[in-house]
Amino acid sequence: MGKSDLPPVDCFVGERFGDYEFIEEIGRGKRGVVYKAYNKSIDHYRACKIIPQKNLGSAWELEITKVVKLEGIQRIAQYIDHDAKLLDNTPYVCILWEYIQGCNLRDFIRENPTAITLGIISAITDQIFKAFIAMKDRGISHNDLHEGNILIYYDTGMIDPDIPRIKITDFGIGGSHNELKPKDDYRELARICYNLLNLIDPSNLDGKDRFFYDRFIVSIQKRLLEANPTVGHFVQNPQELIKILRRIPDEYDTLEVERPKKLTHPFDYLRCEQIGNSFELLQLLYSQNFPGYNDLLRRNNTILTGPRGCGKTTIFRNLSLKTQLIAGKREGATGDFIGIYYHCTDLYFAFPYLKSELNDVKRQAIIHYFNLSILYEILDLLSEASKRFEDLVNERDLIDLQIFLKGYFSIYHQPPEGSNIIRHLMSFIVGEKKAVRDWFNKKKVRKSQIFCLWISSKKLLYFYKKI
């Protein structure tokens, strides 16, 4: 059956289900239509799915009774009631659901394609796994999971009303259509994850996000799609699958931060680059005795020169607060500066072969790109610090940070509940840097960009808005 077999749009406006009157059609799929229903006496809304009786198999009502067991599960739209009705001389089944003010994932992607980041994909998958845990505990499967059955909504009653949340709906009727074999929930979730990942260009991801992207795909292929229970305890086990997903960032940190062997002699390493991130070794070799060390800390511009391998890069890296936190030598920012290390090859490869003369707009674009890069490094520093000091950043701080950034990035969307907000912001900044590169290189981009001043009256170009 196709959509053309369904009743005309809004043809049931004014009809009733108990005390609820159908006031408008708010959606339609292959099997039925959805109406927003209103109870005037208590000022309350429900969603009513209206399905032609012929579109349902013989076991659909048995499936509906299973959904009652999911009552009270936060991430699942609540079933209320169902009944058979004769509308326009055609038998229909009306199923009353909790009304969710929002849109489904399919529409959310279509309307906000730039909002999809690895953080959002991870958070959506995490929340679906949590729903799967409750479903498994009650012996229930969805049997027709797809983007249209995952609702994205905002809860104005929460302290953070701008954070999107999800609910899964339409349980119990998908697999019964024309007696088709029910769809496997885990296979359908894998398909949804693949579709979301296809919205992201992995070539634009930094090391940590690229690692997550690659490992996520491997997890889909080797774990989420696996159906043989003898392969491992994780097979169709949402408790284990959610742990695997959450361990991916820690796996990257384990690979990234490898402590070098303790230095026993100043010449154990041939070049300073081999020392890596060891703050302890740098302090032993250079510390305050490095010629010109105090000049680097003064509030003026200082240029450090020297032959390749003499230790310039290592000195600057170890002046950064991030390196010192990783080495366990600092517990916070002290003194009158915070060290941030930024490798200028990022700028070189973003804008190669620049002309000697640039117009003001292009100059602003380069400055803006640089400041986006610094913002990324600040967020990365905040991410590292928050891992080591649990109370450093609270939920309210992250909400305020997003509200602040939203004032400059009109296209920014807060991630769903449960997201790693800092990682989501970092992914968003990576996308904005790509937008600047595309604009500069005259590729197909958004509408004209305005590069905006911020930070009081200082001539620092940090963010831009879309017209």
Domain that holds residue 167: 103-256
Assess whether 430 and 351 both reside in one domain: yes
Looking at the structure, tell me whether residues 108 and 247 fall in a common domain: yes
Q: Are residues 192 and 207 in the same domain?
A: yes
149 and 74 in a common domain: no
Domain of 46, CATH number, reads 3.30.200.20
User: Residue by residue, what is the 3-state secondary structure of the chain?
Assistant: CCHHHCCCCCCCCCCEECCEEEEEEEEECCCCEEEEEEECCCCEEEEEEEEEHHHCCCCHHHHHHHHHHHCCCCCECCEEEEEEEEECCEEEEEEEEECCCEEEHHHHHHHCHHHCCHHHHHHHHHHHHHHHHHHHHCCCCCCCCCHHHEEEEECCCCCCCCCEEEEECCCCCCCCHHHCCCCCHHHHHHHHHHHHHCCCCHHHCCHHHHHHHHHHHHHHHHHHCCCCCCCCCCCCCHHHHHHHHHHHHHHHHHHHCCCCCCCCCCCCCCCHHHHCCCHHHHHHHCHHHCCCHHHHHCCCCCCCCCCCCCCHHHHHHHHCHHHHHHCCCCCCCCCCCCCCCCCCHHHHHHCCCCCCCCCHHHHHHHHHHHHHHHHHHHHHHHHHHHHHCCCCCCHHHHHHHHHHHHCCCCCCCCCCCCCCHHHHHHHHHHHHHHHHHHHHCCCCCCCCEEEEEECCCCCEEEEEEEC
Claim to verify: residue 112 and residue 252 sit in the same structural domain: yes
Residues 90, 173: one domain? no
User: 447 in a domain, yes or no?
Assistant: yes
- In this structure, are 178 and 131 located in the same domain? yes
Which pTM was predicted? 0.67
Does residue 24 sit within a domain? yes
Task: Indicate the residue among 76, 98, 120 that finishes a domain.
Answer: 98
Tell me the pLDDT of the chain (467 aa) as tens digits. 444 478 899 999 999 999 999 999 998 888 889 999 999 999 999 999 999 988 887 777 776 777 888 888 888 999 899 999 988 888 999 999 999 988 999 998 888 877 888 888 998 999 999 999 999 999 888 888 999 899 998 887 777 777 788 999 887 565 444 445 678 999 999 999 999 998 888 888 878 889 999 999 999 989 999 999 999 999 999 999 999 999 998 888 777 554 445 555 545 666 555 555 555 565 555 555 667 777 777 777 788 887 776 777 777 777 788 877 776 666 555 566 778 888 888 888 888 888 778 888 888 888 888 888 988 988 888 888 887 776 677 778 888 888 888 887 888 888 877 778 888 888 888 888 888 888 887 765 555 455 554 444 444 444 433 32
Say if residue 109 is in the same domain as residue 249: yes
**Residue 460 located in a structural domain:** yes
Judgement on whether residues 353 and 441 belong to the same structural domain of the protein: yes
Structural domain contains residue 35:
yes
Confirm whether 300 is domain-assigned.
no
Both 391 and 359 in one domain: the answer is: yes
Q: Is residue 76 part of a domain?
A: yes
Residues 93 and 134 occupy one common structural domain: no
- What is the count of structural domains for the chain? 3
Q: Examine residue 228 and state whether it is found in any structural domain, yes or no.
A: yes
Q: Give pLDDT, residue 288.
A: 54
Q: What is the pLDDT of residue 448?
A: 46
Q: Is there a single domain that holds both residue 93 and residue 135?
A: no
